Amino acid sequence: MLRSYWMRILITADLHYNNPRSRRLADELIDEMRSTPAEVLLLIGDTAASAGDDLERCLSRFEGFAGPKLFVAGNHELWTRGEDSYRLWKEELPRRVKERGWRWLEEEPFVAGRWGIVGSVGWYDYSFAYESMGIPRRFYERKISPGAAAVVGMADLVEGFDDVPEPMKQVYARWNDGKFVKLGRSDEQFVVELEEKLERQLAGLKGVGSVLVAMHHLPFREMLPPPHTAQWDFVKAFLGAARLGETILKHENVKMVICGHTHLPMEGQVGGVRAINIGSGYRVKRYRVIELG
């Protein structure tokens, strides 16, 4: 019997292997994935925080997989208490991943037959923030909402609180990248660098018939979860960057984007691109089998 597909890819994201409760569920998922036939394996970010050996332990759980193993970092891989997150991303993480027999997809796109796969951690530049909330930019830059900034006593943020709409003063949310990611540059500058790298990757695959982009953060506003509480709507600013999606849509051979980060499953169409969020998280682990024809 002839196969109806040319290449089967096994994909998951957000295993969060350094979290004890999440690790137990991740091990169960990995056991299931290991018994699922596929030619290529792909992890799309937040496999484990960089501290300790949890990342290596998780990658080693897939050692029996015979085909190419592709790795993309997430924001949690960049978490650190004392190191330079940018150096982690540029130097240490690629080395550690390659030592375990995985391909660091951000630097080495994967091509097989008529399909190419490129990777990017993606990031955020607050382009997904809701302007209607009226929260000044300084709060997004520090990754803390007005109400939370007042509670923890960030005087430099809450001085001039008159420019914050009254309802927003009761919004309490904090994005932990603000405490644990140390890029040494602004989020916008990092996104510009990522965009330029993604453009180079996609331009290099101009002659490939179809391309899949694996990105941890969201590249399209259309992939955002629906409006919810003010706290959740505040943190949408940290879910992705519109300019990365714009770069993707410039390349007609990009047929699919797969991401994670939000922990919520989603599938839809953005222009000519099939957009999928794996929807794996701390409490519920998911994976997808994508058959590329």
Q: What mean pLDDT is reported for the chain?
A: 95
Whether 137 and 231 have beta carbons less than 8 Å apart is answered as no
Angle at 270 between CA 266 and CA 273, to 5 degrees: 95
| Two tokens, residue 132 | 């209607």
The mean-pLDDT minimum among 1-10, 29-38, 164-173 falls in 1-10
Q: Which residue has the tokens 């992705």?
A: 240
Mean of the pLDDT values across residues 112-135?
96
pLDDT digits (tens, 9 = 90+) for 153-166: 999 999 878 999 99
Does residue 2 have a pLDDT over 50?
A: no
The predicted model scores a pTM of 0.95
174-196: average pLDDT: 97
Confidence of residue 89 (pLDDT cuts 50, 70, 90): very high
pLDDT attached to residue 81 = 85
Q: Identify the structural domains of the chain with CATH numbers, from first to last.
A: 8-292 (3.60.21.10)
Distance from C-alpha of 146 to C-alpha of 166, rounded to nearest angstrom: 10
* 121 band by pLDDT with thresholds 50, 70 and 90: very high
Give the tens place of pLDDT for each residue, 230-283. Answer: 999 999 999 999 999 999 999 999 999 999 999 999 999 999 999 999 999 999
In the chain, how long is the greatest CA-to-CA distance?
70
Q: CA dist 115 to 6, 111, 188, 220, 292, Å?
A: 10, 6, 31, 22, 8
